[in-house]
Chains A and B, each alone.
Chain A
């Protein structure tokens, strides 16, 4: 057969080179896998490393630290605040949570309840007592409260609406007339929360310095406030800037443990003078503006305002809200105080039939959210969350506090 034998050329290893083709292919696929692995490791490690700072600071006593907060004269500050709340409110179908429905007018009171659930980012800027702004960052929108002198503006970019109020020239004004930045929102900064927590310090409380921490890149002391007695609150921790005396971080942990129920902290902070243009607001052409005096007129027509505030924080603030609402009473002192109010409808939605079997699906829902209790006051239901418990009685009274079930029942019995 005329087969031509291949002649030997180019004496090298080529023909003998048995290349493991499959292995080489597998090696190439290793590259994307390695990239993904490195990325995953980075995502896992970097935050862990970033949080591990525990700076060396000179020793300081709790009293000195509290004094440092009190004497802090920081007037200018800007930064971002991250708020994470996990109060353990049951997630209701429809995602309504517990907050009031969103008000079409850009009034400040309609925004606070939103902060009580999930994570939020705020931006704050203070420039002396006259110029302040706080904004809640939303996805592709922002809600800003801006005070410049006697002008208070709120601008909700999402709905393109604005709210305007004029504070009287004479300060300080009485409550309810909003002399400064509406307190509800300002309450959401670590400074205000720290003030209120410290105000609640009494002999039922242990206060101590609990090490140091790094917050927003700054060195800080940690002040721990631990309530004794029947409180659902395990500890309140405040990280105080070692240099400026400004609280940078505020956390509340539940006695039941777990991650912080409330965690408010600066993620970035700057003690320089904020830019002036942030305090100036002129409503754009197409924006709907609601004037406070119009709201006041409307409020007089419709009766009491809906401003209930945040019960958990109210409970922390001693005596806060007293006399603010005619139908709100505070029973007890300090951490163990219980707020009493009346439901507008007088009783639970299911009326007297609070048992699941009688009330069908709605009753089942009730059962899953609450437990039935009885006492001298009659019967009612206790709604549990991690920090706040509420007792709703058959006759439409509500007792709320950061306290255990027994304290609530006691309060109800006393109120009877």
Chain B
């Protein structure tokens, strides 16, 4: 074995999670995760996006040392997994594929059970830490109830509480809002933001695009076991260019002028026209945008329209969503039910 302490100092400024070529092939040949190169920066709220069955949970299980990778490796908090599980995992709180509880134990005893499993957890402070965690997820009132009487939302909260029993450097939350009502979802998102403000890296897997967009600073997109893209949410959205949207009672003339200025993929819906703005690098070379000094200026475009006698009711770009990103990257719909 190598010296973990040396690695520790070398790797501490590094990513909270880093994988290279991480691959899992199940017995029977099914490829669940295919050479995944993932990098989760410290301090980020990282959205791990993908439809069900895209390999998110398998990746998380490999990161947690529950599943052995077929090839490739992973580092969590700078240390190799699953080799350094004993030193790494106490610093990681996890909610994996929904909560699992002992139905015959109360909520509080469930937390005590999971806390006792951590050899670095001080039994003397256990009761206090459990109370704090219960309070944080808003379960104090139901702490004495048997877990089998909990609703799915309460179970989800208790699962979160068990991830918060200790101060963590990294939280891995697999679909944390599953089964929660909108109010519960908001609470969880607020909690995640608070934790992130405290400096905890949060790795949030979800199939809900708006959830990732609302909470995360970074995101990665998985589909069919492959990593499609990763980066900051802003970068991802920017990469997918927004669409121009013009509302006018003179659509025919507007289309002509927009075409002249290099706008493509024009769709006319009554008085509304949408189109793809020419990109900087991919702009048609034979038709350089007016004002060859840079990208097409929207103000110029608007002026051109008005100048051409088009009555413009509204003019602007529609911000791209992660869904647009996903669709543009995979060329397929984001079938949440699938």
Contact = CB atoms under 8 A, between A and B. Distances in A.
A and B touch in the complex (CB under 8 A): yes
Interface of A: 1-4, 6-7, 9-15, 17-18, 21
Interface in B221-247: 229-232, 235-236, 238-239
The 7 closest A-B pairs by CB, nearest first: A2-B231, A9-B14, A10-B11, A2-B235, A10-B10, A6-B39, A2-B239
A14 B73 contact: yes
B207 interface: no
A13 B78 contact: no
Contacts of A10: 7, 10-11, 14, 75, 78
Interface of B is mostly: mixed
A15 B71 CA distance: 10
B229 A9 contact: no
Interface of B: 2, 7, 10-11, 13-15, 18, 20, 37, 39, 68-71, 73, 75, 78, 80, 229-232, 235-236, 238-239
A12 B4 CA distance: 11
Given A1-B239, A6-B39, A14 B18 contact: no
A345 to B, nearest CB: 70
A11 B71 CA distance: 19
Given A9-B10, A12-B7, A14-B75, A4 B231 contact: yes
Contacts of B73: 14-15, 17
Nearest to B39: A6
B14 to A, nearest CB: 4
A12 B11 CA distance: 11
Given A1-B229, A2-B232, A6-B18, 8 more contacts: A2-B230, A2-B231, A4-B231, A6-B39, A11-B10, A12-B2, A14-B2, A17-B73
Contacts of A18: 71
A10 B73 CA distance: 13
Contacts of B14: 7, 9-10
B78 A9 contact: yes
A3 B229 contact: yes
A392 B232 CA distance: 104
Nearest to B21: A15
B11 A9 contact: yes
Contacts of B13: 9
Contacts of A11: 10
18 contacts: A1-B229, A2-B232, A2-B238, A3-B229, A3-B230, A4-B231, A6-B18, A6-B20, A9-B18, A10-B7, A10-B10, A10-B11, A10-B14, A10-B78, A12-B2, A14-B73, A14-B75, A17-B73
B10 A6 contact: no
Contacts of A6: 15, 18, 20, 37, 39
A4 B236 CA distance: 11
Nearest to A1: B229
A2 B229 contact: yes
A7 B2 CA distance: 21
A9 B15 contact: yes
Contact of B80 (A3, A7, A14): A14
Contacts of A13: 2
A21 B70 contact: yes
Contacts of B230: 2-4
Contacts of B69: 21
Contacts of A7: 14, 39
B220 to A, nearest CB: 9
Interface centre among A2, A11, A21 (most CB of B within 10 A): A2
A24 B7 CA distance: 24
Contacts of B78: 9-10
Nearest to B3: A12
A18 B70 CA distance: 10
B82 to A, nearest CB: 11
Contacts of A17: 73
A6 B236 CA distance: 17
Question: Which of B73, B78, B232 is the most central at the interface, judged by chain A CB atoms within 10 Å of its CB?
Answer: B73
Nearest to A8: B14
Contact of A15 (B15, B20, B235): B20
B193 to A, nearest CB: 23
B24 to A, nearest CB: 11
A1 B14 CA distance: 23
A2 to B, nearest CB: 4
B152 to A, nearest CB: 36
A18 B21 CA distance: 11
Contacts of A21: 68-70
A13 B83 CA distance: 14
Contacts of B238: 2
Nearest to B10: A10
Contacts of B229: 1-3
